[in-house]
Amino acid sequence: MPSPAPSPTILALVLVSAGIGHAQVQLPVAGEARFEQLVEANINGVHAYQILLARKQGNINASCWPLQSPDDAALQTLVEHQTGFLKQSSADVKAWALGRATSFDPSIDLQPLVAAKLPMNPALPVNVITDYLHKQLPSTPRSHIRSVANLYQTVLEVERDGDRLQDLFSFYIGLGLPVYMGQFGLAGTDENFLKVGKELEERACVSPVGLSAGEWQIAARKIWNWGEKNLHIRDAGVLANELLAEKDVQPFVAQMKSLAPQRIAVIGHSYTMDLHWSSPSAFVPIVTEMFARENSGVEFRQFQAGGLTSSRAYKWFYRDALAWKPAVVLLVVINRTDEDRADLKLMAQGFKAAGARVLMFDNILNNDDSDEEKLRANLSTARDAGIEIVNASNVLNASPDRDHFRCLDHIHMTEPYHRIMAKEWLKALLAANQKSAFNRRH
């Protein structure tokens, strides 16, 4: 008697495991099972990418990171499927998961990711954090646990936290899935994150990502802060509203309202950028949001890049910023070399020749400002170029929160720092306009 033929689903998985094309797999009925499939597809996509990383780095635990199968081409195809998958409308994908009418076609990118069935050792970081969360939250739906675990899996590879990780935040929020520990009611302090990190660091296999207790801790802080930011629980808008309500800011609101329409350009490094994980936002976008509420005629534009030196700013942003014709320019740039200082001077002179006021803070406690000799040289160049130096260091150093400014990476700054700097930037901007008005009258 002949053996029964394999089911279409089993046959599909056999074909995929043999590396033969992209099989069509049977997807589950609407509901939680479909949400699980959506999350597992993303986990497979990230895992495929990280297997490729592990092979390049050579520090491979073959039981976690297979050496040969699937081959590199098959893995890269999965990475591309995830890219396509995340470009889909979350609303359409959610409708499919709920069994509603939708234009989402799961056969294009979802099914190949689900069918891949990559080996997933329990010691993989994504499974280690999954196991931890399941023990903490035994009644929580698996899709909810795995969506957060997928974010951990992704953020531990630090080069993707500005793109793929943000795509995943947007995707899961659109689906209504959790994106950070606070949604589970778990503690969100750095101390607790380190405690968890110490518990997890010995449990995961050697991987192409950092897995020390401190690295688990930073991963947790990134996910927490970005989760609150993406959900608008704590972001630039929230901080702007809080600052506008503070007693020491309220006297400046009338001045904000009275400013004539104008353009304000900020050329700055990561301390000025909203995207960074160290704080709900940075001082520049916070003030931008404050003006959006009080005087939308004052228009802000940021020209930004992490680690931005004056030489890079001159090459990358100066011409565009000058063409925008701002009335005020704030420079928050790094000056390490004579070339940087020369380009700082060129930018300042160009903006001033075009009629703009150019501002720079004296010392914002960036690590590059800690070299007294270079700091003096930078400030001397700035003054020679006609840049107005705003004293922020006295206020920063006198703050009772001074010891808590620096975040876990010992480079970037936390919310208390950015709240102070937002006030200093606001006052400097208003003062620059008062000086301009005085000069026009005289």
User: In the structure, what pLDDT confidence band is assigned to residue 36 with cuts at 50, 70 and 90?
Assistant: very high
- What DSSP character marks residue 271? G
User: In the structure, what pLDDT confidence band is assigned to residue 161 with cuts at 50, 70 and 90?
Assistant: confident
Mean pLDDT of 165-186: 97
In the chain, the percentage of residues whose pLDDT exceeds 70 is 92
pLDDT higher than threshold 90 for residue 277 = yes
What's the pTM? 0.88
In CATH, what class is 8-230? mainly alpha
CATH 1.20.1090.10 domain residues, the chain: 8-230
pLDDT at position 430: 97
Instruction: Output the DSSP codes for 170-220.
Output: HHHHHHT---SGGGGT----HHHHHHHHHHHTTTSPP-SS--SHHHHHHHH
CATH code for the domain defined by 236-441: 3.40.50.1110
40, two tokens:
């597992």
CATH 3.40.50.1110 domain residues, the chain: 236-441
User: In the structure, what pLDDT confidence band is assigned to residue 61 with cuts at 50, 70 and 90?
Assistant: confident
Q: Which amino acid is at 103?
A: S
- What DSSP character marks residue 235? S
231, two tokens:
């959900």
Rg of the chain over all Cα atoms, to the nearest angstrom:
26
d(CA 433, CA 266): 16
149, two tokens:
């675990």
- Let me know how long the chain is: 442
User: Could you read off the pLDDT of 381-412 as tens digits, one per residue?
Assistant: 999 999 999 999 999 999 999 999 999 999 99
User: Could you read off the pLDDT of 324-351 as tens digits, one per residue?
Assistant: 999 999 999 999 999 999 999 999 999 9
437, two tokens:
């008005």
Contact by Cβ (8 Å): 364, 421: yes
Among the ranges given (15-19, 256-260, 426-430), the one the predictor scored with the smallest mean pLDDT: 15-19
